[in-house]
Amino acid sequence: MATPVIMPRQGNTVESCILTEWFVKKGDKVKEGDLLFSYETDKAAFEEESKVNGTVLEIFFSEGDDIPVLTNVCVIGEEGEDITPFIPNGGSEQKAEEQVKTQEQVVEETGHSEQKLPEETQSQADSDEVFISPRARNLAEKIGADIRFATPTGPDGRIIERDIRKLQQEGHLVTAGAKEAYLNLDQPLQGSGLGGRVATADLNRPAVSFAASEEKTSAALEYEDVKLSNIRKVIAKTMHESLSQMAQLTLNTSFDATEILNVRKKFKANAEKMGLANITINDILLYAVSRILPMHKDLNAHFLGDSIRYFENVHMGVAVDTERGLMVPTLFNANLKSLNQIAIETKELAKACQKGTINPDNLKGGTFTVTNLGALGIESFTPVINPPQTAILGVNTTEQKFREKDGVIEPYISMSLSLTFDHRAVDGAPAARFLRDLKESLENFTVLLAK
């Protein structure tokens, strides 16, 4: 009996994966454990091994195909066996039913009484065409909304009136004068006009850069067009949404890092003896943040438009730099974990990210994020919030500073922190108070540990 190989479902919410590479071809003999193909979700990459011995009888998809999970990808069996029962889409009705069922199951399992509206419906999302109702199109024209920013919530991925209304609220608008030229641009751009409208003045910027690049093209091919990876696309979308939808601003402060540097030295010295992990400055920061955050619930929250969801525990997003790009795995319940646990688990998460084996379910659910550019010598920056979180803490490099103490000028090691917060959810003073408390706890870290 031939065995179909399905596209595995990586995480509950993954609907499809991109097949990145075939390691076998039709007719190849494979043994159990041989690699068949690699694939990736928008968040991670995986490899699929053969679970049986046999011949690859048929391959249903090519590299680059976006394949719904649980769909047959190839069939392995004895030569001459009938593979027709395994051809995908043969029973499309059945599959549709299955999908409906799974949706229902998800609803049941998670116990949510509310079914989330699809962010984007699949059936038409693959196509570049924009499906929009006449009414929505007219409204967009009238108010000068850029429909490329609209998230379709109508049937079959159609943009409907309410999606344009949302754009209007979010400010993806263009002035009438600038509209025609703007809509012909290759890329959307941020507006400087009233309510964030793209005005004619904004149009000149890309025009200049286009002209420059044209000159270069005529000289020689000095660039390379690389298609965005899924991860890049997700980052682009999330970051852009973050900046375009929130009222972000950044507070900077610095603290005396003497204590944490000393503590860290002690940990390092006793690591082997005490069976401790390699506890880094970053781990110490994560620990401190996880203990201070519960006292500043505004910052351990999700801003949901018309409501704010406050979390009891801290699910810490930890920014990790990988070859594919920025990834932010979540350290769940960080406030309940010991410093040592934090150190161990953070390293595991980071490693999984770098290898691309991170479970997609671990890439979400964060309530606050810490990002550290200190190792790269950054002294201050404005980190970008991961929506729908309300804040993100940037950790900068250490530097020697001087201060006057009892009439004596003395040097000390200072470290600075950059907190970006969403002014829609939090005001400046509470954010500043959080930084003040965090600074105090870091400067007196041993006291914090004792708590």
Binding site for another protein (CB under 8 A): 92-93, 96, 104, 107, 113-118, 133-136, 138, 153-156, 158, 160-162
Can you state the angle between helices 134-143 and 161-170, rounded to 10 degrees? Answer: 20
118/387 with CB nearer another protein: 118
What b/e readout covers 316-339, taking b as 16+ CB neighbours within 10 angstroms? bbbbbbbebbbbbbbbbebbebeb
101/351 with CB nearer another protein: 101
104/312 with CB nearer another protein: 104
Nearest-Å Rg of the Cα atoms of the chain is 26
Question: Least distance from C-beta 134 to another protein, angstroms?
Answer: 5
Cβ contacts of 74 within 8 Å, gap of 6 or more = 4, 5, 24, 36, 37, 56, 57, 58, 59, 60, 61
Question: Least distance from C-beta 310 to another protein, angstroms?
Answer: 22
104/410 with CB nearer another protein: 104
- Say how far apart CA 328 and CA 361 lie, in whole Å: 11
Q: Please choose, from the candidates 177, 433, 143, 450, the residue with its C-alpha nearest in 3D space to the C-alpha of residue 287.
A: 450
- Say how far apart CA 350 and CA 343 lie, in whole Å: 11
161/399 with CB nearer another protein: 161
114/323 with CB nearer another protein: 114
122/322 with CB nearer another protein: 122
Residues in the chain: 451
135/351 with CB nearer another protein: 135
Beta bridge partners of 254: 416
Is the alpha carbon torsion for 91, 97, 103, 108 positive or negative? Answer: negative
DSSP letters, 53-77, are -EEEEEE---TT-EEETT-EEEEEE
Cβ contacts of 438 within 8 Å, gap of 6 or more = 255, 288, 289, 292, 393, 417
Question: Least distance from C-beta 59 to another protein, angstroms?
Answer: 27
Question: Least distance from C-beta 275 to another protein, angstroms?
Answer: 50
Segment holding 369, helix H or strand E: strand 368-372
Q: For the chain, how are helix, strand and coil distributed in percent, rounded to 5?
A: 40, 25, 35
Question: Least distance from C-beta 426 to another protein, angstroms?
Answer: 27
Question: Least distance from C-beta 147 to another protein, angstroms?
Answer: 14
Question: Least distance from C-beta 121 to another protein, angstroms?
Answer: 9
Question: Least distance from C-beta 159 to another protein, angstroms?
Answer: 10
Question: Least distance from C-beta 127 to another protein, angstroms?
Answer: 16
Identify whether the C-beta of residue 17 lies closer than 8 Å to the C-beta of residue 67.
Answer: yes
114/224 with CB nearer another protein: 114
Segment holding 401, helix H or strand E: strand 391-405
